Amino acid sequence: MAATIRDVARVAGVGLGTVSRVLNNSPLVSAATRQRVLAVMAELRYNPSQIARNFALGKTLTVATIAPFFTRPSVVERLRGIEATLTASGYHLVVFNVEAVERRDECLREAVRNDRADGLLLVSLAPRPDEAVALREAHLPVVLIDTCAEGLPGVSIDDVAGGHLATSHLIALGHRRIAFIGDPETDPLTFNFTSSRDRMLGYQQALAAAKLPLNPAYERHGLHGRYEARVLARELLHLPEPPTAIFAASDTQAMGVLEAARDLHLPVPEALAVVGFDDIDIAEYLGLTTVRQPLFESGARAVELLFLLLSGAAPPPAERLPVELVVRRTSMKNR
Amino acid sequence: MAATIRDVARVAGVGLGTVSRVLNNSPLVSAATRQRVLAVMAELRYNPSQIARNFALGKTLTVATIAPFFTRPSVVERLRGIEATLTASGYHLVVFNVEAVERRDECLREAVRNDRADGLLLVSLAPRPDEAVALREAHLPVVLIDTCAEGLPGVSIDDVAGGHLATSHLIALGHRRIAFIGDPETDPLTFNFTSSRDRMLGYQQALAAAKLPLNPAYERHGLHGRYEARVLARELLHLPEPPTAIFAASDTQAMGVLEAARDLHLPVPEALAVVGFDDIDIAEYLGLTTVRQPLFESGARAVELLFLLLSGAAPPPAERLPVELVVRRTSMKNR
DNA sequence: CTGTTAGCGCATTCAC
DNA sequence: GTGAATGCGCTAACAG
């Protein structure tokens, strides 16, 4: 059916190897024969079989990405960065969306068992120690995004600093009763994924630095989602001494807080200041003050690190991207 | 390094074919030998080379998806449906995000040229006639999502009916000056992608059915985006006789309309009713009345159709999923 | 039931 | 520079 390298060789009256060399732009071909081969290729409408090529090379020119919750806007933005950088280099991106623990484990197992990808990108999700050794043994290069793990290259941010930034901003505005809403302390899905915890750490450190008391009742944890955060925020706002400001570990959760404020007819920022994290697309629309992190860039940079690994380089150290406070309406000065 | 099927055969003292049969769960193997082979496979920590398997089979167990604008929430939701259905069948999903025309063309060309995917899914993006024949010649099965094209299977919705639904709702609320904001009439990126146009058609039909005049000044088109829609909406609201209701061809654009209303201090829905389209995640948060379409299901169903094609079935006819009006705050009765 | 054989399409040695 | 030979790891068709 489709023409093969052999057909081209026969018609062009040259050897197999020569056609292969032309394909790979080898300099070991005279201009004349190259032209002839090229002409025959065009004539026969030959196109090389990628899958045979992969087989012979032992490479797939594909990298797999495992990410929890496609739908999370921050993850999507990272994927955008990954896709753009990958396809710019002729690589393909295969994606796995894990929304349950079983899938998480299965995807990781599959990734090491299979050789269908040359490298692996893990978004907001760290391998367990046993998974890490499996990865190493399978010689499957991995780069982490938005997480850290002993000895594995990755690109993340300083979540502690980010939490500190957000909280000191609220303190500077005169708030003294500042609450925190974040993810559950442990989550089997995103093993060792400490973003939320670190942001809380930054929150606590900022309070301590300002000699403000740490009120455990002001620290709430729930599944990452608007609805869950809304419930938690409502609880906070019903406290005998409710917070005047809430720092949420993500913009999604901050949206839940805004909903709660609306439920209780609390004007924002007058009665309640709100700060989120990530600066997802919608944050600007909502006028949400937030801590911006370079999402697209994190994906792009991770791919670059992976390419380094694929080229045989030693595992580069983990990198940190900068964060930045973006002040908007939900935390305007008002007191 | 890694054990191959040959090693297993040697150690187990059987032939190559037998090992292969065990791998493929062929019934033509005695229980005894199967056990033995299985044991040796475990002992040698053998795992089959997918890439060699693909090569021998001439299949990749991979389907490619080309979609414009990952970041569009409706597209992401469709991708979720695609991914879930695909990986449930052991297929891999490789994604291409096209945000520019050149990339669009290149991706499609690459898809037919390469044999790196067994099938192709096109989201919100129809092949041009020449591309369609190239697809056919390459024997690359395609399923369209959110679009239609002559003779190609696809899953979409009745956009005209959706536009009609939204507009009649506004008419029933007593509105008589109803404007429309949609995508540009032609877009090289999403060739033949008529969603927005069809929704406008439904809008026009609903107006005509109610004997309401069609005011060309009330029909605006701009690039699909919040900001662009915001500008258009502002123009509309500055008209000598501004509309009292705006139907936007997507929720994203409806958000722009809401922003414009906020800019002009127009209370919604009292001074301006707004209806969107898609019912993306954020719509509920915004209290946005919208036309819901089954986004996740559209992806899932498209994959099912593609599987049909891959199994050698004749191209199934295009399918339409139902739409449904979801009334929320932005179009509450108020007059 | 099982072992053997012949490719799948290409890259990569080698000789010439 | 170029052609011929070998093998990547597996499936499938064949003979036993």
Go through A248-273 and write b for each residue having 16 or more CB atoms within 10 A of its CB, e for each that does not: bbbbbbbbbbbbbbeeeebebbeebb
CA distance linking residue A323 with residue A169, whole number of Å: 14
Question: Per residue in A66-104, pLDDT tens?
Answer: 998 777 889 999 999 999 999 999 999 999 999 988 889
- pLDDT tier for residue B289 given thresholds of 50, 70 and 90: very high
pLDDT at B234: 98
DSSP character string of A14-79: --HHHHHHHHTT-S-S-HHHHHHHHHHHHHTT----HHHHHHHHT--SEEEEEEE-TTSHHHHHHH
Looking at the complex, does the CB of residue B302 fall below 8 Å from at least one CB of chain A?
no
Task: For residue B57, count CB atoms less than 10 angstroms from its CB and return exposed for 0-12, middle for 13-18, buried for 19 or more.
Answer: exposed
A chain contacts of residue B80, beta-carbon cutoff 8 Å: 70-71, 97
Give the global pTM.
0.93
Question: Per residue in A223-247, pLDDT tens?
Answer: 989 999 999 999 999 999 999 999 9
- Cα angle: B214, vertex B179, B272; to 5 degrees: 140
Question: Per residue in B79-127, pLDDT tens?
Answer: 999 999 999 999 999 999 999 888 999 999 988 888 899 999 999 988 9
On the question of a cis peptide bond just before residue B294, with omega within 30 degrees of 0, the verdict is: no
DSSP assignment, residue B271? T
pLDDT at B151: 86
Encoded tokens for A327: 């002040």
Beta carbons of A54 and B51 less than 8 Å apart: yes
Nucleotide nearest residue A17, measured CA to C1': D3
Question: Per residue in A141-158, pLDDT tens?
Answer: 999 999 988 889 999 999
DSSP assignment, residue B216? G
**A56 is near strand D: CB distance < 7 Å:** yes
Encoded tokens for A50: 């990628």
Q: Which of residues 35-54 of A touch B (CB under 8 A)?
A: 47, 49-52, 54
DSSP assignment, residue A118? S
> Which residue of chain A is at minimal alpha-carbon distance from B93?
A94
Domains of chain B in start order, with CATH, are 5-48 (1.10.260.40), 59-155+295-321 (3.40.50.2300), 159-292 (3.40.50.2300)
pLDDT at A1: 67
Q: Is the pLDDT of residue A2 over 90?
A: no
Beta carbons of B94 and A96 less than 8 Å apart: no
Q: What is the side-by-side order of every strand in the sheet holding A219-221?
A: A219-221, A178-182, A245-248, A273-278, A289-292, A324-326
Question: Per residue in B28-61, pLDDT tens?
Answer: 889 999 999 999 999 999 989 999 999 999 999 9
Q: Is the pLDDT of residue A335 over 50?
A: no
pLDDT at B335: 47
Question: Per residue in B167-212, pLDDT tens?
Answer: 999 999 999 999 999 999 887 777 767 899 999 999 999 999 999 9
**B17 is near strand C: CB distance < 7 Å:** yes
Beta carbons of A47 and B113 less than 8 Å apart: yes
pLDDT at A220: 97
CA distance linking residue A265 with residue A104, whole number of Å: 40
CA distance linking residue A51 with residue A60, whole number of Å: 8
B chain contacts of residue A87, beta-carbon cutoff 8 Å: 96
**B23 is near strand D: CB distance < 7 Å:** yes
Strand partners, B324: B292
A chain contacts of residue B50, beta-carbon cutoff 8 Å: 114-116
CB contact set of A307 (below 8 Å; sequence gap of 6+): A89
CA distance linking residue A179 with residue A234, whole number of Å: 12
Contact A162, A291 (CB under 8 A): yes
Q: What is the mean pLDDT of chain B?
A: 93
Among A25-29, A265-269, A303-307, B34-38, which stretch is predicted with the lowest mean pLDDT? A25-29
Name the one residue in this structure whose structure tokens are 């938690």: A232
**B128 is near strand D: CB distance < 7 Å:** no
Encoded tokens for B109: 């060309």
Contact B109, B135 (CB under 8 A): no
Helix spans in chain A (H): 5-12, 16-23, 31-43, 50-57, 73-88, 101-113, 129-137, 159-172, 195-209, 226-237, 251-263, 281-286, 295-310
Strand locations in chain B, DSSP E?
Answer: 62-68, 92-98, 119-123, 142-145, 154-157, 178-182, 219-221, 245-248, 273-278, 289-292, 319-321, 324-326
Beta carbons of A285 and B52 less than 8 Å apart: no
pLDDT at B334: 54
From first CA to last CA, the distance across chain A in angstroms is 77
Q: How far is the CA of B57 from the C1' of D12 (A)?
A: 10
Go through B188-202 and write b for each residue having 16 or more CB atoms within 10 A of its CB, e for each that does not: ebbbbbbbbbbbbbb
Closest among A270, A99, A89, A81 to A173, alpha carbons compared: A270
**A33 is near strand D: CB distance < 7 Å:** yes
Length, in residues, of chain B: 335
Mutate which: A83, A92, A262, vs B, most B CBs within 10 A: A92
Query: What percentage of residues in chain B have a pLDDT greater than 90?
Result: 79
Name the one residue in this structure whose structure tokens are 């920022």: A269
Closest among B281, B296, B310, B295 to B85, alpha carbons compared: B296
**A52 is near strand C: CB distance < 7 Å:** yes
DSSP character string of B86-99: HHHTT-EEEEEEE-
pLDDT at B204: 98
CA distance linking residue B117 with residue B107, whole number of Å: 12
Task: For residue B240, count CB atoms less than 10 angstroms from its CB and return exposed for 0-12, middle for 13-18, buried for 19 or more.
Answer: exposed
CA distance A138 to chain B (A): 9
> Which residue of chain B is at minimal alpha-carbon distance from A73?
B71
How many beta-carbon pairs under 8 angstroms link A with B?
Answer: 88
Q: How far is the CA of A89 from the C1' of C8 (A)?
A: 27
CA distance linking residue A175 with residue A183, whole number of Å: 23
Nucleotide nearest residue A21, measured CA to C1': C11
Q: How far is the CA of A44 from the C1' of D3 (A)?
A: 21
Type and span of the H or E element at A115? none
Task: For residue B34, count CB atoms less than 10 angstroms from its CB and return exposed for 0-12, middle for 13-18, buried for 19 or more.
Answer: middle
Q: What are phi and psi of A90, to 5 degrees?
A: 80, 5
pLDDT at A192: 67
Task: Name the region of A294 (left: φ>0; alpha: ψ -120 to 50; beta: rest).
Answer: beta
Chain C bases near protein Cβ (<7 Å): 1-14
Helix spans in B98-225 (H): 101-113, 129-137, 159-172, 195-209
Nearest amino-acid residue to C12, taking CA and C1': A17
Contact A247, A163 (CB under 8 A): yes
Beta carbons of B71 and A52 less than 8 Å apart: no
Name the one residue in this structure whose structure tokens are 């900068």: A322
Beta strand pairing status for A178-182 and A245-248?
Answer: parallel
DSSP assignment, residue B264? T
Nearest amino-acid residue to C13, taking CA and C1': A17
Name the one residue in this structure whose structure tokens are 């920590």: B45
Tell me if residue A156 falls in helix, strand or coil.
strand
Q: How far is the CA of B21 from the C1' of C3 (A)?
A: 12
pLDDT at B217: 97
A chain contacts of residue B226, beta-carbon cutoff 8 Å: 285
Nearest amino-acid residue to D2, taking CA and C1': A18
On the question of a cis peptide bond just before residue B269, with omega within 30 degrees of 0, the verdict is: yes
Length, in residues, of chain A: 335
pLDDT at B266: 97
- pLDDT tier for residue A334 given thresholds of 50, 70 and 90: low
DSSP assignment, residue A315? P
Tell me if residue B221 falls in helix, strand or coil.
strand
- Cα angle: A249, vertex A254, A257; to 5 degrees: 125
Radius of gyration of chain B (CA): 26
pLDDT at A305: 97
Nucleotide nearest residue B55, measured CA to C1': C8
pLDDT at A194: 82
Radius of gyration of chain A (CA): 26
